[in-house]
Structure 1
Amino acid sequence: MREYAFELALCVHLEATTEWVVARQLGGSVAHPGGRIVDVVGVVPGAGFDRRAAITAETIPPLALESDVGVGAAVRPERAFHCSSQVARRVADRAVELGFFEAEHRGGHRRVRRAVRYPDDWFAELVAVENKPDLGSPGDLESQLRTDASLGLFDRVVLATESYVTRAHLNRIPDAVGVWRFDPDERETEVVREPEPLSPTATGVEPVDSHPLRTDVAFVSPEEKARVRRRVAERAYGKGWRPEPPGCVHGAVTADGRPYCEQFARVVDPGADCGEGCSAFAAADPPAVDRRALRDARTPWVADPEGVARTQSGLDRFS
């Protein structure tokens, strides 16, 4: 099975067998943003999960969480964010729209405060899953997993494959990385090796550049990792894994929300498989599917929370 279809089948399986919030294709590096993209991330709910779910179904902007805006006195965004004034105002707008901030107009200036305290304990663990259905074509798998193990951004790291796993395969990846043999057709998982807990609260080592005779690394502090872990968890909560279905007359959606081609009778990647490069492509409206309803019914994620803002004050009132 192709890697894309394998990945989506695994997401369906994880939704059915865990209480995780599952998302795809998220950044997994700190010192080198974009240097590591993780195939699947599982967010394990923590004690404060329900309080987080009550705020918004979307990603709370990281800059809003990292700003000096609190639940007490309202402050001007330009003075509370660690970025340009233009970006600060835009992020504050979004935070108000989501109900995380509330706004007021005083002294000729717009000011914001948090509408609710953010529950830092809303996730208990982050699990990274790297998908490689065919271990005969590993690509950069070994270096990717070594980065995950040495950085320790995630609590656990797992390799998921459809291949038969040999001792030689296991010897080429870090001991801390777990291995699952996953059958995407039968939706069955054999645990070949359990993952070992990593150390998100310890200093991590992240490779940032490779040369013929050396590898440059960055030491990543626990505080930096905590900041990025929260960003990953928030992005996973807001994003999920279900892609837009293909806009083609042959496009369809499986019952669990995967994009499907009726012409070729298989799950497809709409961004890569569909379009003018496909001989059977005929543009049409994408098939109707309520991806939010599917996710709400199958995971702890809440599609339409009541919200917790004391005052839903749109910033456009003060323009």
Structure 2
Amino acid sequence: MPAPVTSPSEFAFELALCAHLEETTDLLPARQLGASVASPGSRIIDVCAVAPGPEFDERTHITPRTIPAAAIESDVGVGHAVFWRDAFDCHPARARRATDRAVDVGFFETERRRGREYVRQATRYPDAWFSRLVGIENKPDLGEPGDLLRQLRLDVSLSLFDEVVLATESYVTGAHLNRIPDVVGIWRFDPETGERDVVREATPLATDATGVEPVDYDSLHTDVAFVTAAEKRTARLKLAERAYGKGWRRYDLPGCGHAGVDSDGRPVCGHFGRVVDPGSECGPDCAAFDPADAPEFDRENLRDTRTDWVADPSGVARRQSGLDRFS
């Protein structure tokens, strides 16, 4: 038997934590989402966990997919159809993309008048569908911190999340506690047993205040951008919507006879007997690769049965068709 490859511990740790949160809390976890504003793409949070709010059920009725923030914040309302371009305060190309996406997911209805497209919301958007965003940075081995402290300091100074947490498998020493910002919560998590100990509770952050985002690091100074409360509201809405639509099981299973999924939906290899990262470990370069059809994997149904997210809602788009008379 060929020697097993080294397990990508951070990937396996991350999936185990997502499965644990899904099973033991009401949080909706999603993986690898952008968590910066002034410099998009410069900060990717390992896990964004969304806490449902009082209008969560209303959100589940609309669509299981992401609704674009630009469409939500546009001047498109429920009772009166408007020319799509007049409803947006942004570049027409971005407005066009947001309109098409909102129609595609069932949030906008569309009609044509004299060759022009008019749109209205199919239903009121439930602003209070989420109550908190929890940003979780995973670092199983604190002996190899990498850019951990810089990432956590950015998260704290920007305050895009209501809470920021460090999740680790390592024993947390006093020296670790002294280096990690005081407001960052710390979880010690065992991916094998699913036990999670709260070493330190997270302190709520000022999401409604101006944030400071480092955008360029130099040996002698750091350039920063000030992110307004309004910009953060839009970024938080976009983050919550992306997390709702994406979830954490977004990997493709490999076409290998050893490939499978466990009861949580994590990708496993029957040959090596563990969770694997299909994107980096599987394929012809693996000594145990056995070409076959990829196993079937109904990730949406699995998420539906394990959370309050709804995979196939009845939808709302056709319920408003009678409102044409008001336009």
2:50 aligns with 43
CA distance in 2, matches of 1:68, 1:284: 50
Counterpart among 198, 203, 217 of residue 205 in structure 2: 198
Is the 8 Å Cα contact of residues 246 and 259 (structure 1) preserved in structure 2?
Answer: no
Counterpart among 226, 232, 235 of residue 233 in structure 2: 226
Counterpart among 295, 305, 316 of residue 297 in structure 1: 305
Is the 8 Å Cα contact of residues 122 and 320 (structure 2) preserved in structure 1?
Answer: no
Counterparts of 1:61-72 in structure 2, within 5 Å, are 61-72=68-79
SS at match of 2:149: helix
Superposed CA offset, 1:249-298 (max 9, x none): 21111111001111111101111111232222233221112111110011
Counterpart among 152, 163, 177 of residue 159 in structure 2: 152
CA distance in 1, matches of 2:235, 2:252: 27
SS at match of 1:205: strand
CA distance in 1, matches of 2:177, 2:294: 42
In 2 relative to 1, CA 33–208 (structure 1 residues): closer, same or farther, beyond 3 Å?
same
CA distance in 2, matches of 1:272, 1:59: 27
Superposed CA offset, 1:110-129 (max 9, x none): 21111111111110000011
Is the 8 Å Cα contact of residues 20 and 300 (structure 1) preserved in structure 2?
Answer: no
CA distance in 2, matches of 1:193, 1:119: 33
The letter of the residue matching 1:179 is I
1:250 corresponds to 2:272 = no
2:170 aligns with 163
Superposed CA offset, 1:66-102 (max 9, x none): 3222223212222323444444334323212221000
**Shift, 1:248, TM fit:** 1.4
**Shift, 1:9, TM fit:** 0.3
SS at match of 1:196: coil
Counterpart among 188, 202, 214 of residue 207 in structure 1: 214
The letter of the residue matching 2:276 is V
Is the 8 Å Cα contact of residues 110 and 120 (structure 2) preserved in structure 1?
Answer: yes
The letter of the residue matching 1:278 is C
CA distance in 1, matches of 2:17, 2:59: 26
1:92 corresponds to 2:107 = no
CA distance in 1, matches of 2:260, 2:99: 38
The letter of the residue matching 1:25 is Q
CA distance in 2, matches of 1:226, 1:95: 19
CA distance in 2, matches of 1:81, 1:52: 22
Superposed CA offset, 1:207-255 (max 9, x none): 1100110001111111111100000000000000012222212111111
Is the 8 Å Cα contact of residues 25 and 40 (structure 1) preserved in structure 2?
Answer: yes
1:80 aligns with 87
The letter of the residue matching 1:92 is T
CA distance in 1, matches of 2:240, 2:125: 13
2:4 aligns with none
1:141 aligns with 148
Following TM superposition, the consecutive aligned residue runs of length 4 or more in structure 1 with deviations greater than 6 angstroms are none
For structure 1, the residue ranges without an aligned partner over 5 or more in a row are: 314-319
Identity of aligned residues (%): 64
The letter of the residue matching 1:277 is D
Counterpart among 285, 296, 312 of residue 288 in structure 1: 296
Counterpart among 104, 109, 117 of residue 111 in structure 2: 104
| Range that drifts further, 35-44 or 271-280 | 271-280
Is the 8 Å Cα contact of residues 176 and 196 (structure 1) preserved in structure 2?
Answer: yes
Count of matched residue pairs: 313
Is the 8 Å Cα contact of residues 75 and 87 (structure 2) preserved in structure 1?
Answer: yes
CA distance in 1, matches of 2:254, 2:176: 36
Is the 8 Å Cα contact of residues 81 and 88 (structure 1) preserved in structure 2?
Answer: yes
2:28 aligns with 21
The letter of the residue matching 2:141 is D
For structure 2, the residue ranges without an aligned partner over 5 or more in a row are: 1-6, 322-327
1:266 corresponds to 2:271 = no
CA distance in 1, matches of 2:105, 2:170: 44
CA distance in 2, matches of 1:269, 1:59: 25
CA distance in 2, matches of 1:70, 1:236: 24
Superposed CA offset, 1:13-71 (max 9, x none): 00111101110001111111111100011100001111111100000122212322222
Is the 8 Å Cα contact of residues 123 and 320 (structure 2) preserved in structure 1?
Answer: no
CA distance in 1, matches of 2:12, 2:159: 28
**Shift, 1:310, TM fit:** 3.5
